[in-house]
Amino acid sequence: MTHPQLAAMKARAEAAHPGPWEQGPPHNADTVNSKLGRRICEGCCRTDDPPNFAFIAHARTDLPKMIALAEAVMDECNDIICDRLIPYEARRRVEAILDIINRELAK
């Protein structure tokens, strides 16, 4: 089961134009384009702002990877809890991990 906010992030990522994305060509350096040639944003960052360009360009591929990781961890933790095959203390720690993930997603 996924947290509603995680599901919303996944829906937004899946709705975006396919990646990967990259900084526009040198003659128009303040754009982010998909590698398929579609302009994602223009004038979205100053040309002297490489950290923001990198964040925007990599978000298209980074976010789906992080969503998949969070889902895998949450699924594994839920499987461990449901199986009830681990000692009580270990089970409590797994539940604590899930609580942390859910709190972070709720922010």
Mean pLDDT, residues 55-75 taken together: 85
CA distance 84 to 72: 19
Question: CB neighbours (10 Å) of residue 80?
Answer: 18
Give phi and psi for 17, each to the nearest 5.
-60, 140
pLDDT the model gives residue 75: 81
CA distance 82 to 71: 16
CA distance 59 to 80: 31
pLDDT the model gives residue 40: 81
pLDDT the model gives residue 48: 67
Q: Considering only CA atoms, which of 106, 21, 20 is closest in space to residue 70?
A: 106
CA distance 65 to 31: 24
pLDDT the model gives residue 28: 63
